[in-house]
Structure 1
Amino acid sequence: MLLPDSLPLSRKQLRSIGRATARINLWHGSVRSGKTIASLLAFVIAVATAGPSGLIIIAGKTIQTIERNVLEPLQDPALFGPLARHVVHTRGASTAIILGRTVHLIGANDAKAEGRLRGLTAQLAYVDEATLVPEGFWTQLLARLSTPGARLYATTNPDSPRHWLKVGYLDRADKLNLRAWHFRLADNPSLSPEYVANLSAEYVGLWRRRMIDGEWVVAEGAIYGMWDEDEHVVSELPEMRRHWAGIDYGTTNPFSAILLGLGVDGRLYACAEYRHDSRATHRQLTDAQYSEAVRKWLADYRPPGAPDNAPKGVTPEWVFIDPSAASFSTQMWSDGHSNPARASNSVGDGIRSVAAMLAAGRLLVHESCKGLLSEMPGYSWDPKATERGEDAPLKVNDHSCDALRYVVHSTAHEWRHLLTAPPAKEAAA
């Protein structure tokens, strides 16, 4: 099982591979820190030396994440050399062949996943992103590792210090048959300084401490601690290259739409806002009325500072809608709106996207977005969720913040390069 010379391994990686002989072996720490390569090598060595009794399992949030994070790297000759030829999998299938052994793939994205383990007897298991699987699934998987010498291999990025994996296992390592290795970004010898700098620019605040420094830290206080009205609020807008929109739907709660523009200066701007608060106006609107209101808002839009005789109207490339508002999305389609789309609703990732752009000075808000400006300073983590080991914002005065999150994160592939690009003036110099 020879590895290519192009895959340098650090002493920490080699040490973890050689010592991964406990019942529970856990690699945790920052993104791209080398923990996944080390854990996969240790797992494959265990597969190669495993006896014939008991199943071999790879578990993750979904089959798709298992394919992306585990099987595709194992099948990459640049990473695993000749070994890659001995990893066979058909996309979407629930089994794979590794070194001639059948390996069962199990998605564990909810509490029902625990039932998929009932009745199994396993000798080896690998868990990708362990903090994302339900605690009940993890507990049941350990119970199924019942053959002599059975082992579990797992990797994860850090989460809340009150997460069940931290409290129940890492903090009790001295009382369990468990070995754990903590990795930081600097522990990966294969990364270039340029890549490390680029990755570091994408994470700020809570996520920087977790994803770059590899710390298990609590989410507390203001979500956008870098928010500064003097820096982030503007009274004028540059010419825009592109527009998108994000909508957070509400009936009794406020309905908010944010128009996002990509300026010629390489920055994102919350250009305008439509907001209807039924409690304040004592008038609830139907889906059809909201659809018409959004249409009129976009048709009447004129950039701030434009002369009165300048043409009105803007057509966003996509309108990203609250994914829970299925009936409103249907109404928008029926009314012929331009490109309604289901917004990405990964809350943590969406907040991180907004935070990264704010911290880089690449996301600014026009002073006309009154609802958004009123919400940003008070947008905070929910302390009760934090006590449960979860990261969740308080569901209070967050509607325009949600609309902004939808449109910013749903277009991340369009603007991510801006995080490391020089400002327009520097680029032109």
Structure 2
Amino acid sequence: MEFGLWGEKALNFIFNPLEDDAFINILEGSVRSGKTVAMIPKWLNYIMTGPCGMLLMTGVSKDTIYDNVLNDLFDTIGESNYSYNRQSGDLLVFWFDNGIKKQRRIKVLGAKDEGSEKYLRGKTLAGAYCDELSLMPEKFFKQLLNRLSVQGAKLYGTTNPDSPYHYLYAEYITNEAKLKKGMVRDYHFELDDNPNLPEEYKENIRNAYKGMWFKRMILGLWVLAEGVIYDMFSDDLLFDDSDKVFTKNKKSACRRYIGIDYGTTNPMVFLDIYDDGDTIFILNEYYYDSKKHQRQKTDEEYAKDFDTFIGEEFPDFVLIDPSAASFKIVLRGKGYRVKDADNNVNDGIRKVAMLISQKKLRVHKQCQNLIREFHSYVWDEKAAKRGEEKPVKENDHGCDALRYMVNTILQKWRFQH
């Protein structure tokens, strides 16, 4: 990894002596503002000179930690200076001190839900690096603090903003008592704190977000998620057969995916989605509401409807909620390539919102149910005030089917601008 120019905030953080750092050190703010890049040399210094004992690196999953942090860390130190078992998460980092070879044991651990807390029990830690800290379950985070029991142990974390009711913001970042005592130190980063970003790039990334996402990801503000989730959706994203945005030639150059939100008492939804590598086009929808029709269909009946919906051209993949076990079996029995969807709700919503903001998502006018949901899919304000961020479970079936495809299929670079 080649480091570029360093901003003043990054340098202040990197060169602050370890003994002067707080117990909890948080780098938070806008995307691409240099938080992770500033953390790498700091963490390497901690590995080599921090208190003796095992360290922990954690995030949503071991894969996200690898993509977000370890890949650059390994590139920085060189392949001869570490040993990593990606499956177990066991990492050893080597270095020489006055000609003597030393090493540090580090455990890499995912923290996808509250249940991950059990993997911390019994551990005695000398330090921790937390990637995407705001996505860490509260129970896990507080158990992690309990495990940092070695004298002088410290926690370092990076995060983008979340809700102002989030436990991290309410109990740590803005807690005056903890800040004054030196238990917590917060470093707020904005786009202009990264001197390596060209003005054209910054303009592009600013245009990638709208509404609440702009306030969080660009301005770095901890603001409440409220109102319509996809408030940036507008009629200029719609097309019909008279438009020339999706011709036969365009269709033939695309990969085809079907997103499914499985329902029995709730609506069953199929979305016919085409991807040309730049923009996704939602060409058609199947929407069956058993409550409205006063009749539930069996999996076999839905499978027949699916065959009709698909036509003669098989899709590249069918993306479906992993919990829809019985219907997956039926579809696989018919020869379809069925893939369990990534069901990370908020991450999927953010990605769909980015596509809409950049006009990289187009919807055929015949998809009336999906269009209706775009205008009526809302955040749960009561949950937000409890520190939880989630949508109201209404008007979400087509939105879920779309999110499954976007969050599972589209590669990370499609959302890095």
Q: Which range, TM-score by smaller chain?
A: 0.7 to 0.9
SS of the aligned residue for 2:219 comes to coil
The residue that corresponds to 2:40 in the other structure is: 40
Q: Which of 229, 232, 237 in structure 2 is aligned with 1:223?
A: 229
Question: In structure 2, do the counterparts of structure 1 residues 84 and 181 end up closer, same or farther at CA, with 3 Å as the change threshold?
Answer: farther
Distance (Å, rounded) in 2 between the aligned partners of 1:117 and 1:349 = 25
Report the CA distance between 1:252 and its aligned residue. Answer: 0.8
Give yes or no for contact 2:51–2:153 (8 Å, CA) kept in 1: no
**Counterparts in 2 of 1:25-424, with a 5 A limit?**
25-52=25-52, 54-76=53-75, 80=76, 85-98=80-93, 99=95, 100-172=103-175, 173-176=178-181, 177-229=183-235, 231-236=236-241, 237=243, 238-239=246-247, 240-241=251-252, 242=254, 243-262=256-275, 267-299=279-311, 313-337=312-336, 339-413=337-411, 416=414
Whether the 8 Å CA contact 2:13–2:38 is kept in 1: the answer is: yes
Distance in 2 between the 1:297 and 1:55 partners?
Answer: 55
Task: Flag the 1:68–1:272 CA change in 2: closer, same or farther, 3 A.
Answer: closer
Q: 1:85 to 1:156 in 2, by over 3 A?
A: farther
CA distance in 1, matches of 2:155, 2:276: 50
Q: Cα distance, 1:320 vs. partner? A: 1.8
Instruction: Assess if the C-alpha contact under 8 Å between 1:353 and 1:412 holds in 2.
Output: no
User: 3-state SS of the aligned residue for 2:192?
Assistant: helix
In the alignment, structure 1 segments of 5+ residues that lack a partner are 300-312, 421-429
Unaligned runs of 5+ in 2: 96-102
Structure 1 residues 9 and 246 mapped into 2: Cα distance closer, same or farther (>3 Å)? same
SS in 2 for 1:89: strand
The Cα offsets for residues 289-332 of structure 1, whole Å up to 9 and x where unpaired, read as: 10111111232xxxxxxxxxxxxx54333222233212111111
Determine the C-alpha separation between the residues in 1 that align with 2:340 and 2:118.
31
Q: Structure 1 CA distance, aligned partners of 2:109 and 2:8?
A: 32
- CA 1:399–1:415 in structure 2 vs 1: closer, same or farther (change >3 Å)? farther
> Alpha carbons of 1:286 and 1:198: their partners in 2 closer, same or farther (altered >3 Å)?
same
Is structure 2 residue 24 aligned with structure 1 residue 18?
Answer: no
Change (3 A) 1:110 1:15: same
Partner of 1:305: none
Deviation at 1:267, TM superposition (A): 4.8
CA distance in 2: counterparts of 1:41 and 1:253, whole angstroms = 50
Letter in structure 1 aligned against 2:26: L
Superposed displacement of residue 159, structure 1: 1.2
Q: Is the 8 A contact 2:261 2:321 kept in 1?
A: yes
Matched, 1:7 2:4: yes
Please report how far the alpha carbon of residue 182 of structure 1 lies from its aligned counterpart in structure 2 after TM superposition. 0.7
Look up the SS of the partner of 1:101 in the other structure.
strand
CA shift for structure 1 position 259: 1.3
Is residue 201–residue 356 contact of structure 1 (8 Å, CA) maintained in 2? no
> 1:25-57 CA deviation, whole Å, 9 max, x = no partner?
1111122211112222222212222343x4322
Q: Indicate if the aligned counterparts of 2:8 and 2:193 stay in contact, CA closer than 8 A.
A: no
- Counterparts of 2:118 and 2:364 in 1: how far apart (Å)? 51
CA distance, structure 1, for counterparts of residue 392 and residue 410 of structure 2: 24
Q: TM-score, normalised by structure 1?
A: 0.83
**CA, structure 1 residues 103+281, in 2 after alignment: closer, same or farther (shift >3 Å)?**
same
The Cα shift of 1:225 comes to: 0.8
Change in Cα spacing, 1:89 to 1:326, as seen in structure 2 (3 Å) is: same
Identity rate, percent: 39
Displacement, 1:94? Answer: 3.0
Distance 1:415 1:274 in 2: 30
**How big is the alpha-carbon RMSD for the aligned residues of Structure 1 and Structure 2?**
2.7
TM-score (norm 2): 0.86
Please list the CA deviations of residues 186-245 of structure 1 after superposition, one character each: whole Å capped at 9, or x if unmatched: 21122344443444443333222222222211111011112233x233332531233322
TM-fit CA distance, 1:349:
2.6
Aligned residue pair count: 395
**What secondary structure, in the 3-state scheme, does the structure 2 residue paired with 1:169 have?**
helix
Closer/same/farther in 2, CA of residues 135 and 414 from structure 1, 3 Å limit: closer
* 1:328 alignment partner, SS class: helix
Q: Which amino acid aligns with 1:155?
A: T
- The aligned amino acid for 1:246 is G
- For the Cα contact (< 8 Å) 2:51–2:150, is it kept in 1? no
Q: Amino acid of the residue matched to residue 284 of structure 1?
A: Q
Q: Which amino acid aligns with 2:12?
A: R
**Cα displacement (A) at 1:169:** 0.3
Q: Structure 1 410/97 Cα, relative in aligned 2: closer, same or farther at 3 Å?
A: closer
